[in-house]
Amino acid sequence: MRPKMKIILVISLVLNIVLIFSTFMISDWKKGALIEAAASSLFKNDNNMDPYLKKKKQKNITIYTKYYQTKKNIFDSYQHRPNEIIFLGDSMTDYYEWGESFRNERIINRGISGDTTFGVLNRIDEVIQAQPKKLFIMIGINDMLAQQELDTIETNYKEIVNTIRKQSPETNVYIQSVLPVNQKLHGNYVQNDAIYLFNRRLETLASLHDIPFINLYPKFLENGQLNPDLTYDGLHLNGKGYKIWKETVNAYVKQ
């Protein structure tokens, strides 16, 4: 066989192998995508969810991520100083540089992205150990995103407040409202009506315990939604949004 013919045969063989392999991979990818889409659809619609899976979904709120475990472990190893000011919450708190923004090294961040009222209860001992001068709390949006009942979230919140009041009685506690979301940017995973109702419950809770309630909700609202100029994804704040938050709590931090 001529060398030229051998080269052509080798090239043809290689191309056939690549074609067969590509077809297999594309088919496998499509299969995986369909499975993922079906699973996603199932978990977005509770009415179509198997009762066991629905129960498991509700319990997943207490299955903490590696990020949560890592942050909690770091916090637990921290040596506290007198007169600290703590910001406690989820990603809304976690994403901002509170101490740097206020130019105060006594202000420390105890936000953990993805955290819930369950998660805060699980790590509240470390906050109490600090016996902080002031404690600013914002938590609850992830509970609502996980479709927890407002009664359950409120019960957890009450336990958080009661625990702090009993074990760190000299701490000045501040309850901050949950912020609205922008459903056009973030989707219909949680309704602002539900957030508003939950904030009313928080306001009542604060009043019962003689705790200042910082109502941030209306400051971020535009046409019934989180102002799109203050967010990049409809849920979390951008720099402009955090500036408003800081300006709102500034008097409480410095008083």
Q: Tens digits of per-residue pLDDT, 200-239?
A: 999 999 999 999 999 999 999 999 999 999 999 999 999 9
Q: Are residues 157 and 241 in the same domain?
A: yes
127 near 165, Cβ under 8 Å?
no
Q: Are residues 40 and 75 in the same domain?
A: no
In a domain, 92, yes or no: yes
Query: What's the number of domains the chain is made of?
Result: 2
CATH number at 234 reads 3.40.50.1110
Q: In whole angstroms, what is the distance from residue 208 CA to residue 173 CA?
A: 13
Hey, is 207 helix, strand or coil? helix
Structural domain span for residue 148: 64-254
Q: Are residues 141 and 105 in the same domain?
A: yes
The arithmetic mean of pLDDT across residues 98-103, rounded, is 97
Q: Tens digits of per-residue pLDDT, 48-96?
A: 333 433 444 455 455 578 999 999 999 999 999 999 999 999 999 999 9
- Point out the least confidently predicted range of 19-28, 156-165, 237-246: 19-28
